[in-house]
Amino acid sequence: DTAVSQTPKYLVTQMGNDKSIKCEQNLGHDTMYWYKQDSKKFLKIMFSYNNKELIINETVPNRFSPKSPDKAHLNLHINSLELGDSAVYFCASSQWGLGTGELFFGEGSRLTVL
Amino acid sequence: DQQVKQNSPSLSVQEGRISILNCDYTNSMFDYFLWYKKYPAEGPTFLISISSIKDKNEDGRFTVFLNKSAKHLSLHIVPSQPGDSAVYFCAALRSSGANSKLTFGKGITLSVRP
């Protein structure tokens, strides 16, 4: 009964391909996020959704398209993959407004673009 | 522009001794500061937080100190245990309703030697 689960854990693909990562949370949270951890190890926010509505879009290339079919799911689709997209992508959820800052993360999806 | 900085990439301490992990920030508008802990192949998990109006928060073996004038916080773990070996991320929260977001440092790897 994992609180935030994301699939797949690992993706290896060629440049130019399209891939998707799925995320689901069973915590009843209203807000979900995608974070990217690149080779420099920084965790950077990409998107946040509140109850299916896009709230934060941190100047991510439009090849990245999040989709939230309902407030428990936030999927990430990436078109025309580039080498620089290789990273670990973390899904997370929180109560509305982040409260005192507690995020609940999934285990991460490691994307390798060859 | 790194608003949250963890300048030491790693720290090694002996079991039973104190671990002190440091973090600096540049934005005086942050409302909360948090520490997250991450084991390999897992997502970060919340460890402890402190409000910007406090200077100390303690939870068992973990204590966070905040020095607002120096824009510096530190996490003390005492006594350190081998199970504390992990990557520790410092994070800062700017509360702004639905637009609230956490800014992370790049983490410090703590190794506790038996």
Q: What is the mean pLDDT of each run of 10 residues along chain A (114 residues)?
A: 91 97 95 92 91 86 93 95 96 86 95 96
State whether B45 and A100 contact (CB < 8 Å): no
Q: β-strand B56-59 against B62-67: which pairing, if any? A: antiparallel
pLDDT of residue A12: 97
pLDDT in tens, B66-98: 999 999 999 999 999 999 999 999 999 998 888
State whether A102 and B89 contact (CB < 8 Å): no
Distance from CA of B71 to the nearest CA of A (A): 18
Query: What span, in angstroms and rounded, lies between the C-alpha atoms of B24 and B19?
Result: 17
Residue B2 banded pLDDT, cuts 50, 70, 90: confident
User: And the tokens for B53?
Assistant: 């109006």
Q: Which helix (H) or strand (E) holds B87?
A: strand B86-94
With an 8 Å Cβ cutoff, the interface of chain B facing chain A consists of 2, 32, 34, 36, 41-46, 49, 51, 89, 91, 93, 95, 97-102, 104-107
pLDDT of residue A102: 92
pLDDT of residue A1: 67
φ, ψ dihedrals at A4, nearest 5°? -125, 120
Share of chain B above pLDDT 70, in %: 99
Average pLDDT, chain B: 95
Chain B residues with CB-CB distance to A9 below 8 A:
41
Chain B residues with CB-CB distance to A102 below 8 A:
34, 46, 49
Query: What span, in angstroms and rounded, lies between the C-alpha atoms of A39 and B6?
Result: 16
Query: What span, in angstroms and rounded, lies between the C-alpha atoms of B94 and A8?
Result: 31
User: And the tokens for B35?
Assistant: 């520490």
Of A93-102, B17-26, B43-52, which range is least confident? A93-102
pLDDT of residue B98: 80
Most confident of A35-39, A94-98, B1-5, B108-112: B108-112
**Cβ atoms B98, A55 nearer than 8 A:** yes
